[in-house]
Amino acid sequence: MPMVEHTFVRRWNGAPIDLLERLRLSLETAGFRLTTPSYWALHGERGSAVAMSKRSLPLAVDAAVVQAPDGAVTGHVRLTDRMPVPLASNAVERGFRDRFAEIEREVDVALGYIQPVTPAAVVPTGEPSGATMQPASAPASEATASRRGLDKAGAALERLTSKTQEKASAAIGRGSGEPWQKVQSVTFWCPPDQAIADAERIQVYAAVAAMVRSQPDSLPENLTGELTAFVEGLRTVLNSAAEADMRAVRYDLEAPQRPIVDFLEQQAAMREQLPVRTLHRCRDCGQQKVSNPDYKRLKERNRKMQALTGAVGLTLRGGSASPFVLVGALFRLKKLDPDYVCGRCQGMDCEESIATFCPNCGSLRPEAVLRRCSECDHDLRSDIAPGEVWHSVGSL
């Protein structure tokens, strides 16, 4: 659970995809390694708890673009610390808040403010050219009650128990996420046929579209624009359905949009049967490294389970434990090593993308759109079984 948090919201006078792209570029410039949990959201991390200099503080960011039914577009940014233990002093907290303010100013510049704005009560003196100021919500950590009473064994034990429950809940399942994730199915209606996709399939479609967006040269510019417009329309439909608490929704398509569904279904089918790997490219020297996200999650889960087992065993033994020992148990829940270290230059900043392997020759395939292997000319599209995506209404 973060100790320091800072959020801000900006209104945008333009297309949602343009706002998301500017947020992505500004956050990458600030040193965040970004991933795309959905087509309309970003998550990133930067820094290390080992270095702990001002420019390398361990931070996390979550950004999302929301379009209201009336067409208003807003960007929501949430910055938090990634400290493995409670903050040691107010000075450390101020360091985080100062860095948050710098990042907010950098984002404002990227969004087109004539004069960068500072957080809290500072009012911009110029009219923004692209984005408009919206009051940010109060930081959740203004009352840092989590640090209160760490000098008492009871308070430390309470924190340890809370942390244990939090980790257990996270292991059981994820939260509901964005409101539109409540939608269970989407019917793509293109008279006289329709195609039905469940929520999991829609997530895969969004992931494919996000990969194409991250590699603009993977499709011709006109096709990329059509795909972007399709996904933007889908997002509007999903958001409207979520606000009406609907579990199923229909997305009306024009005939030229039908091939987009076929394309997304084809790419999703190929991705489903191929291994998933994360490709890390060092920003300092360009060295590439491949990692298995499943192995990483398994290794991290085992490490946390070992730490939690030791912590719970400590609380169940007879006698009393000092606050220092209890906080030390919390300390073991998170690693201090950086998430990424380049094996060539030991750089700790990288660009991440999704990759897979050719099933014929085993070569790495980092492209967003899978077609033919450039090494052996194997057509990856031939490996998927033909399926009926569209059905006439009378045949259902």
* Every domain of the chain and the residues it spans: 5-143, 153-169+275-358, 183-273+385-395
Place of tokens 């590439």: 288
Using the predicted structure, report yes or no on whether residue 89 has a pLDDT greater than 80: no
Using the predicted structure, report yes or no on whether residue 162 has a pLDDT greater than 70: no
pTM of the predicted model, to two decimals? 0.58
In a 3-state reduction of DSSP, which class is residue 342? Answer: coil
Query: Is the distance from CB of 58 to CB of 88 less than 8 angstroms?
Result: no
Does the N-terminal peptide bond of residue 192 adopt cis geometry, omega within 30 degrees of 0? yes
Using the predicted structure, report yes or no on whether residue 196 has a pLDDT greater than 60: yes
Amino acid at 4: V
Using the predicted structure, report yes or no on whether residue 359 has a pLDDT greater than 90: yes
Q: Which pLDDT band holds residue 79 (cuts at 50, 70, 90)?
A: very high
What CA dihedral angle connects 302, 303, 306 and 307, to 10 degrees? Answer: -150
What angle, 0 to 180 degrees and rounded to 10, lies between the N-to-C axes of helices 199-214 and 221-243? 140
Query: What integer is the mean pLDDT of 96-110?
Result: 89
Q: Which CATH class is domain 5-143?
A: alpha beta
DSSP run (H or E) holding 133 = strand 131-134
Task: Dump strand ranges (E) for 59-184.
Answer: 59-67, 73-81, 131-134
DSSP run (H or E) holding 270 = helix 258-273
Specify the pLDDT at position 20.
Answer: 87
Q: Counting Cβ atoms within 10 Å, is residue 298 exposed (0-12), middle (13-18) or buried (19+)?
A: exposed
Radius of gyration, alpha carbons of the chain: 24
Mean pLDDT computed over every residue of the chain: 74
Place of tokens 């609380």: 315
Tell me what percent of the residues of the chain surpass a pLDDT of 90: 21
